[in-house]
Chains A and B, each alone.
Chain A
Amino acid sequence: QKEVEQNSGPLSVPEGAIASLNCTYSDRGSQSFFWYRQYSGKSPELIMSIYSNGDKEDGRFTAQLNKASQYVSLLIRDSQPSDSATYLCAVRGYGGSQGNLIFGKGTKLSVKP
């Protein structure tokens, strides 16, 4: 059974701090990795994708991937109250040729003003 694990939180950080969200996955052959943001009552929104080891930056967001450790993380710099949401890690495994993703259960982030 392929699994994606996230700490459920809640993770609470003060406004302006760096929020660090972590995710581990079980399928060593996983190819593609995604972070989604989901506000309460809304559908998930894709915010980052990463495909190779290292860091990928987009504005205040940085995704980090370490395939050897089967670990992917999301850093949010200068956190804002509007970043308060649940963050879902999603992984496309080696057998996901039709595109299906496996999701973690999400980490709830709360940014305090």
Chain B
Amino acid sequence: DVKVTQSSRYLVKRTGEKVFLECVQDMDHENMFWYRQDPGLGLRLIYFSYDVKMKEKGDIPEGYSVSREKKERFSLILESASTNQTSMYLCASIRTANYGYTFGSGTRLTVV
């Protein structure tokens, strides 16, 4: 089975901190995605990447950046964390565009 691993299950950070969320997949998948999930708002796409060093903005990229230096790793960066970035962050990957996502276990980030 494909495994998508997010490095932290729970994180608490202070306002203004730079935050790194890491995601690693072990099946040589091309495409990787970062979503956030909030009650009443559902899953919203932040950024995605279809190749090493390639990135595309999703629906809500403001306040975030990403890095994909290696195929298996896709990092989400909160440049200066704010309380409205408190959320569940989900990483996903797919082998090709025809398939459904495999999600990581999620990181619940609280910004205080």
Contacts and interface: CB of A to CB of B under 8 A. Distances in A.
Interface of A: 32, 34, 36, 42-46, 49, 51, 88, 90, 92, 96-101, 103-106
Interface of B: 31, 33, 40-43, 45, 48, 50, 56, 58, 90, 94, 96-106
Contacts of B58: 100
A104 B58 CA distance: 16
Q: Interface SS of chain A: helix, strand, loop or mixed?
A: loop
Contacts, number: 57
Contact of A103 (B43, B97, B106): B43
B64 to A, nearest CB: 16
Contacts of A34: 100-101
Given A32-B98, A49-B99, 14 more contacts: A36-B100, A44-B103, A46-B102, A49-B100, A96-B97, A98-B50, A99-B50, A99-B94, A99-B97, A100-B45, A100-B58, A101-B101, A105-B40, A106-B42
Contact of B48 (A43, A100, A103): A100
